[in-house]
Chain A
């Protein structure tokens, strides 16, 4: 390396002849490559693949309901809320060919209810997760970056939220207000976002905040906004993704509990299905009326654990320390 010659402009124009689009394409390819690497590690995790399989099965179930309603199921019989199985003499009816999971005490098709609810569970879980993690990431990054009063304020707020028992709070709120799915998702999101998740993401942000590349960005002339969103937040995203998964689990679980207690204003959900069985006294009947409880209960269990396990598998992707050592 003696006398470095500046690269000539024509040579560069040749390389980046198509300019912006070509550069963007190259960056995209780079992103695809790092995604493939991460995906490769995720695929090595059996638990992760199982979780992904379960989530896909539920997603297909959610998709199948509108299709079935539009094709083979007629609205009078199969509507999850207003339908009635006139073909059955006694309600609840056990599984039959027309009603593979039987009917509920009000004569409604259980399978239709189950499939219909799946969509709401996804909407609820994902909304709550996005709200939680969106807030927690920004709050965590801001608290860690600025420190001082902002940090104290957000951390005391988080302590306060953690100290409140979430389910009891939700019960009180749902008794006071008419909670629908969207508001429930929002409240769960706010509680998580300003609560424990914010503390976890802040401690991660603190480890980033002291890195020399943050100082380098300041010397380059980067403002607070630039440093927070270009340098700190991207390092929080893997952890954020992880906590999204865990939030989905807790949101679905919270919905089930509140619906079971009959406190939510929803058309139909897994929790409401069990609630219906309970108010008719069928929960006490042991396994005789299993189709009233098992499909909804198992769905709650499977979907919750699938998101949790997906989170654990993602943890391995984003957290190299947990990986098997082979390099």
Chain B
């Protein structure tokens, strides 16, 4: 048994080369995750959260370059591995539940067959009967009838497809699962079931799960830790109850108070004015200063240090007091 964090991301920075210049998609991102813990990586589209996920999976496009940092999975730095070695880690140690479930499943093969292939491609040698038994087991675990394994993807509903993709991610029994917007396209009742299943699988297998989403409500319900990303940087990190209950960073607080809720008192929504910055030419100092009400000269010139409170920090010169937090 490995002690300490199962996954440790240290000072990760990466850039994309595009025609207009260099996009600094991820800058100085650090977090760690223990077995059985779940982390929500939250932010608006283009904030770099999917780039972090793709980097952890070693699935960055050709024009991406990691400029700094380490990704240590069970004691090995994934960024130092070559493609061949990486293949051993991907899926067996760290697996991903993709956002667009339809694109992951090949429409011309039976769903069960695709999962068997994923298992065999990662070094497991199974007889036909063993493979079927294993897929049936996976299907049961994600709440699908085992006999559905002989169907084709188009015969599955959206929720069933997402479950099949989760089954595929679980097929090699990884220690870390990255779920990239796993329920965004689904209706709420299905979303609820899938999130509950992911949660119970996480507990049963003592897995670490990273949820990548822009939905704060989902994060509030399923994660232990929250990392808020803005313009490629982590701006706030800590236990979910603390970060969402009393946010330090005005961005987190802004996200919270712009989020409608069906339950509780109907509080007025506020809007984060402005648009996220262009990462080819990001603003100086704190990237959030153009949209921040309490921005000062210091915010415009220097990136803020971490402001700590209990086990939770935010990169902000003027962290919010617990008392004036607006989160519901």
| Count of chain A residues with a beta carbon within 8 Å of a chain B beta carbon | 3
- Minimal beta-carbon separation of A48 from chain B (angstroms): 20
Contact between B271 and A326, CB atoms less than 8 A apart:
no
Q: Is A1 an interface residue (CB 8 A)?
A: yes
Contact between B18 and A327, CB atoms less than 8 A apart:
yes
Contact between A327 and B271, CB atoms less than 8 A apart:
no
**A–B complex contacts, Cβ < 8 Å, 7 sampled:** A1-B271, A1-B273, A326-B18, A326-B19, A326-B63, A327-B18, A327-B19
- B63 / chain A contacts, CB cutoff of 8 Å: 326
Once the chains are docked, how many angstroms separate the CA of A89 from the CA of B146? 95
- Minimal beta-carbon separation of B274 from chain A (angstroms): 9
Interface string of B1-30 (1 = CB under 8 A from A): 000000000000000001100000000000
| Count of chain B residues with a beta carbon within 8 Å of a chain A beta carbon | 5
Q: Which of B251-286 contact A (CB under 8 A)?
A: 271, 273
Once the chains are docked, how many angstroms separate the CA of A1 from the CA of B291? 12
Once the chains are docked, how many angstroms separate the CA of A326 from the CA of B63? 8
- B18 / chain A contacts, CB cutoff of 8 Å: 326-327
Secondary structure at the B interface, as helix, strand, loop or mixed, is: loop
Q: Which A residues are closer than 8 A to B by beta carbons? A: 1, 326-327
Q: Which B residues are closer than 8 A to A by beta carbons? A: 18-19, 63, 271, 273
Once the chains are docked, how many angstroms separate the CA of A1 from the CA of B273? 6
- Minimal beta-carbon separation of B223 from chain A (angstroms): 31
Once the chains are docked, how many angstroms separate the CA of A327 from the CA of B19? 6
- B273 / chain A contacts, CB cutoff of 8 Å: 1
- Minimal beta-carbon separation of A71 from chain B (angstroms): 50
- Minimal beta-carbon separation of B63 from chain A (angstroms): 8
- A1 / chain B contacts, CB cutoff of 8 Å: 271, 273
- Minimal beta-carbon separation of B111 from chain A (angstroms): 29
* Complex: chain A residue closest to B62, CB-CB: A325
Once the chains are docked, how many angstroms separate the CA of A327 from the CA of B273? 29
- A326 / chain B contacts, CB cutoff of 8 Å: 18-19, 63
Once the chains are docked, how many angstroms separate the CA of A326 from the CA of B273? 32
- Minimal beta-carbon separation of B127 from chain A (angstroms): 42
CB-CB nearest 6 A-B residue pairs: A327-B19, A327-B18, A326-B19, A1-B273, A1-B271, A326-B18
Once the chains are docked, how many angstroms separate the CA of A1 from the CA of B275? 11
Once the chains are docked, how many angstroms separate the CA of A327 from the CA of B18? 5
Once the chains are docked, how many angstroms separate the CA of A1 from the CA of B63? 37
- A327 / chain B contacts, CB cutoff of 8 Å: 18-19
* Complex: chain B residue closest to A326, CB-CB: B19
- Minimal beta-carbon separation of A44 from chain B (angstroms): 13
- Minimal beta-carbon separation of B257 from chain A (angstroms): 15
Once the chains are docked, how many angstroms separate the CA of A166 from the CA of B18? 48
Once the chains are docked, how many angstroms separate the CA of A326 from the CA of B19? 7
Once the chains are docked, how many angstroms separate the CA of A327 from the CA of B271? 32
Once the chains are docked, how many angstroms separate the CA of A327 from the CA of B20? 9
- B19 / chain A contacts, CB cutoff of 8 Å: 326-327
- B271 / chain A contacts, CB cutoff of 8 Å: 1
Once the chains are docked, how many angstroms separate the CA of A156 from the CA of B23? 52
* Complex: chain A residue closest to B20, CB-CB: A327
- Minimal beta-carbon separation of A217 from chain B (angstroms): 27
Once the chains are docked, how many angstroms separate the CA of A327 from the CA of B16? 10
- Minimal beta-carbon separation of A326 from chain B (angstroms): 6
Once the chains are docked, how many angstroms separate the CA of A327 from the CA of B23? 11
- Minimal beta-carbon separation of B230 from chain A (angstroms): 20
Once the chains are docked, how many angstroms separate the CA of A327 from the CA of B63? 9
- Minimal beta-carbon separation of A27 from chain B (angstroms): 25
Once the chains are docked, how many angstroms separate the CA of A5 from the CA of B63? 44
- Minimal beta-carbon separation of B47 from chain A (angstroms): 20
- Minimal beta-carbon separation of A18 from chain B (angstroms): 32
- Minimal beta-carbon separation of B48 from chain A (angstroms): 18
Once the chains are docked, how many angstroms separate the CA of A326 from the CA of B16? 11
* Complex: chain A residue closest to B273, CB-CB: A1
Once the chains are docked, how many angstroms separate the CA of A1 from the CA of B18? 32
Once the chains are docked, how many angstroms separate the CA of A1 from the CA of B271? 8
* Complex: chain A residue closest to B63, CB-CB: A326
Once the chains are docked, how many angstroms separate the CA of A178 from the CA of B273? 74
Once the chains are docked, how many angstroms separate the CA of A261 from the CA of B18? 57
* Complex: chain A residue closest to B16, CB-CB: A327
Once the chains are docked, how many angstroms separate the CA of A326 from the CA of B17? 9
- Minimal beta-carbon separation of A117 from chain B (angstroms): 45
- Minimal beta-carbon separation of A40 from chain B (angstroms): 12
